[in-house]
């Protein structure tokens, strides 16, 4: 029997006195792109932090790539890539793109974390994969928002992870940058990577998603997009939801304001 | 041959300047303002240290207590900062109040010759540094520089992206506390050199000025050392020729250097 890529059974997480995730259960069986949606404060980022072993559940069982994220955190973290929300980055620290991408490799190495020739090659390869090789010597904080997001994805890919966590990477991007990012995710999907992507909005990622997980402290809906994306199912979570028909396609505005 | 007082002042400023680049790391961490607040703790530590030295003369130099007080305050303030602005503001005010209270109360019970030592932490004079002071500064600065060099990459990572650093397995809490600790040692060193009241001129100005000069972190680190050292040398020279207190002269030169750099940057086309 194949080990699921992610297995979460009846997991509850508290932050302080507040229950942020309550009896969450779901499995990811095969390489796929999972879109995690939910209103503000639904626990989306906490779910990622849980899967990375950064927060401990007070109940339930979590396995990621067959590993316990807490007991086997070192091994697990060497197998995953992570792109945080943009407000977690300090733009006051003037790092070059090369240093940012290498960070994804060196953080997984043991002290003193000196980059080898192979590490530099891997970092350059990851950057080239994102079409950003000419930015190697540029300062990260001088790039556009879309370019920065691609560099951060290159950083996550540099160590060749089998599982990728992306936290609101589409937030605040213009149309062209969104298209670029979608192409990158599409290429990663073709390479059979598992991608867990947390977003506030369905668009532009909905067409790439293999499954959608709608979270509001517990899992409200989890299934393929055609099962999930109906007004009846989403309306209880998003009272301001609106649907519009355009060119035979149903466009859904969730109507949840970003915090 | 240089006068021993001047020689000790130059050696002292050299060691203090060596630890100043740690302030650049604190600037990148967004926590540079804490260093000036932590410097107040030096006063409380000095008062306790001198009091203990009065009763047990050979136990420990007061500078040791200054270092301990600065580290404790720095760690407490950094922890409070994680709980929110209100806790941070409260902790900063409490640490200042406790330090000044300790200084005022203990000082009133000390014999006059000991009061001078405590007062030297409030407003210091570089020319009055003893050989033992220089030894203390040398040890503290060397420890600071070695720690900052060894863990440079980890410090930069937590400054740039603490979330990912933690996600990929770096013990961010440990390295963050270590950064605040070596910053506290730097505060203790600079406070011994300049006195608490003027220490901010070497703790903040060289880091802020070098940030204006360059975008490269390595150049910022070297720049902050050079600005601190040259301000120190300039201050010693100014004090010798104008008969103004050395710490005041060093502070004056560093402020002039910062103003000059700031004006030049303002006039540069962006």
| A107 at B interface, C-beta within 8 A | yes
Indicate which of A103, A119, A149, A165 best probes the interface with B, i.e. most B CBs within 10 Å of its own CB: A103
Question: Residue A220 carries which DSSP code?
Answer: E
Find how far residue B127's CA is from the centre of its chain.
18
* Contact partners, residue B42, CB within 8 Å, separation at least 6: B66, B69, B70, B99, B121, B187, B188, B191, B192, B196, B199
Cα within 13 Å of Cα(B191), Cβ side: 34
Closest CA to B46 of B197, B177, B176, B182: B197
pLDDT digit string, tens, across residues B36-63: 889 988 899 999 999 999 888 878 889 9
Q: How far apart are CA B11 and CA A21, in angstroms?
A: 58
**Structure tokens given for A110:** 């043991």
pLDDT digit string, tens, across residues B180-225: 999 999 999 999 999 998 998 999 999 999 999 999 999 999 999 9
- Note whether B205 and B258 are within 8 A (CB): yes
- Using CB atoms, pick whichever of B153, B169, B217 lies closest to residue A77: B169
Closest CA to B193 of B9, B51, B54, B6: B9
B28/A90 CB distance under 8 A: yes
CA distance A23 to chain B (A): 23
A89/B170 CB distance under 8 A: no
Q: How far apart are CA B238 and CA B235, in angstroms?
A: 5
- Note whether A79 and A65 are within 8 A (CB): yes
Model confidence at B3: pLDDT above 90? no
Which chain A positions have a beta carbon within 8 Å of B178's beta carbon?
A: none
Which chain B positions have a beta carbon within 8 Å of A107's beta carbon?
A: 157, 164-165, 168-170
Residues 30-69 of A with CB under 8 A from B: 49, 52, 54
pLDDT digit string, tens, across residues B125-149: 888 889 999 999 999 999 999 999 9
- Helix H or strand E encompassing A246: strand A242-246
Q: Which residue of B has its CA nearest to A106?
A: B153
Average pLDDT rounded to a whole number, residues B22-31: 95
Which chain A positions have a beta carbon within 8 Å of B161's beta carbon?
A: 84, 88-90, 103
- pLDDT for A256 equals 61
C-alpha distances in Å from residue A166, one per residue of A33, A69, A172, B13, B152: 11, 17, 15, 48, 27
Model confidence at B27: pLDDT above 90? yes
- pLDDT for B11 equals 95
CA distance B214 to chain A (A): 10
% of chain B beyond a pLDDT of 90: 66
- pLDDT for B78 equals 85
pTM: 0.91
A88/B162 CB distance under 8 A: yes
CA distance B47 to chain A (A): 38
Average pLDDT rounded to a whole number, residues B33-37: 87
- For chain B, helix (H) and strand (E) counts, in that order, are 13, 0
A107/B216 CB distance under 8 A: no
Residues paired with B205 in a beta bridge: none
* Phi, psi for residue A34 in degrees, rounded to 5: -105, 120
Which chain B positions have a beta carbon within 8 Å of A74's beta carbon?
A: 169
Which chain B positions have a beta carbon within 8 Å of A157's beta carbon?
A: none
Q: How far apart are CA B28 and CA B51, in angstroms?
A: 37
* Helix ranges (DSSP H) in A27-141: 44-51, 73-77, 97-106, 117-129
Count contacts between A and B (CB, < 8 Å).
Answer: 71
Which chain A positions have a beta carbon within 8 Å of B28's beta carbon?
A: 90, 92-93
Closest CA to B44 of B114, B113, B97: B97
| A89 at B interface, C-beta within 8 A | yes
pLDDT digit string, tens, across residues A88-102: 999 999 999 999 999
CA distance B1 to chain A (A): 44
- pLDDT for A259 equals 38
B159/A112 CB distance under 8 A: no
**Structure tokens given for B169:** 């397995």
Q: Which residue of A has its CA nearest to B161?
A: A89
* Phi, psi for residue A212 in degrees, rounded to 5: -120, 130
- Note whether A74 and B169 are within 8 A (CB): yes
Q: How far apart are CA B199 and CA B197, in angstroms?
A: 6
- For chain A, helix (H) and strand (E) counts, in that order, are 8, 11
- pLDDT for A1 equals 58
pLDDT digit string, tens, across residues B98-127: 988 999 999 999 998 889 888 988 888 888
B169/A73 CB distance under 8 A: yes
Closest CA to B165 of B154, B150, B151, B149: B154
Question: Residue A217 carries which DSSP code?
Answer: S
Q: Provide DSSP, B163-226.
A: HHHHHTT--HHHHHHHHHHHHHHHHHHHHHHH-HHHHHHHHTHHHHHHHHH-S-HHHHHHHHHH
Indicate which of A54, A71, A94 best probes the interface with B, i.e. most B CBs within 10 Å of its own CB: A94
A88/B167 CB distance under 8 A: no
**Structure tokens given for B41:** 């703790």
Q: Which residues of chain A have pLDDT under 50?
A: 257-259
């Amino acid at each position: 029997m194949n080990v699921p890529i992610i297995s979460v059974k009846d997991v509850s997480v508290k932050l302080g006195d507040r229950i942020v995730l309550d009896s969450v259960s779901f499995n990811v069986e095969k390489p796929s792109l999972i879109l995690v949606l939910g209103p503000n404060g639904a626990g989306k980022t906490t779910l990622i932090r849980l899967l990375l072993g950064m927060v401990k559940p007070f109940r339930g069982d979590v396995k990621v790539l067959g590993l316990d994220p807490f007991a086997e955190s070192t091994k697990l973290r060497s197998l995953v890539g992570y792109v945080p929300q943009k407000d977690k980055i300090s733009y006051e620290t003037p790092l070059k793109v090369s240093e940012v991408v290498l960070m994804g490799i060196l953080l997984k190495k043991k002290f003193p974390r000196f980059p080898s020739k192979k590490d530099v090659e891997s970092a350059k390869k990851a950057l080239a994969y994102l079409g950003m090789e000419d930015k190697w010597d540029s300062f990260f904080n001088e790039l556009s928002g879309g370019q920065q997001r691609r560099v951060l994805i290159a950083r996550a890919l540099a160590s060749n992870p089998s599982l990728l966590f992306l936290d609101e990477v589409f937030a605040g991007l213009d149309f062209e940058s969104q298209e670029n990012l979608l192409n990158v995710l599409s290429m990663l999907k073709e390479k059979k990577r598992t991608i867990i992507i947390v977003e506030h909005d369905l668009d532009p990622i909905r067409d790439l998603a293999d499954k959608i997980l709608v979270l509001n402290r517990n899992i409200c809906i989890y299934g393929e997009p055609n099962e999930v994306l109906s007004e009846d199912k989403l309306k209880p979570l998003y009272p301001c939801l609106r649907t519009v028909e355009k060119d035979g396609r149903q466009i859904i505005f969730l109507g949840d304001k970003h915090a | 041959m240089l006068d021993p007082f001047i020689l000790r002042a130059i050696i002292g400023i050299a060691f203090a300047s060596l630890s100043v680049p740690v302030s650049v790391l604190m600037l990148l961490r967004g926590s540079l303002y804490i260093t000036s607040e932590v410097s107040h703790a030096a006063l409380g530590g000095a008062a306790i240290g001198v009091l203990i030295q009065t009763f047990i003369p050979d136990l420990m130099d007061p500078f040791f207590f200054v270092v301990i007080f600065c580290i404790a305050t720095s760690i407490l303030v950094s922890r409070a900062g994680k709980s929110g602005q209100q806790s941070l503001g409260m902790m900063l005010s409490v640490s200042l109040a406790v330090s000044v209270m300790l200084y005022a109360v203990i000082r009133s019970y000390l014999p006059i010759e000991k009061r001078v030592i405590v007062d030297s932490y409030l407003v210091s004079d570089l020319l009055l540094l003893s050989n033992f002071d220089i030894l203390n500064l040398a040890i503290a600065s060397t420890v600071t520089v070695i720690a900052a060099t060894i863990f440079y990459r980890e410090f930069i990572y937590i400054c740039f992206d603490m979330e990912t650093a933690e996600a990929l397995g770096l013990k961010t809490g440990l390295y963050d506390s270590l950064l605040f600790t070596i910053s506290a040692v730097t505060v203790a060193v600079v406070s011994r050199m300049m006195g608490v009241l003027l220490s901010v001129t070497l703790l903040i100005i060289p880091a802020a000025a070098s940030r204006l000069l360059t975008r490269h972190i390595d150049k910022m680190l070297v720049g902050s050392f050079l600005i601190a050292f040259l301000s120190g040398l300039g201050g010693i020279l100014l004090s010798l020729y104008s008969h103004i207190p050395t710490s005041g002269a060093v502070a004056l030169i560093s402020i002039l250097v910062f103003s000059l750099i700031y004006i030049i940057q303002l006039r540069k086309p962006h």
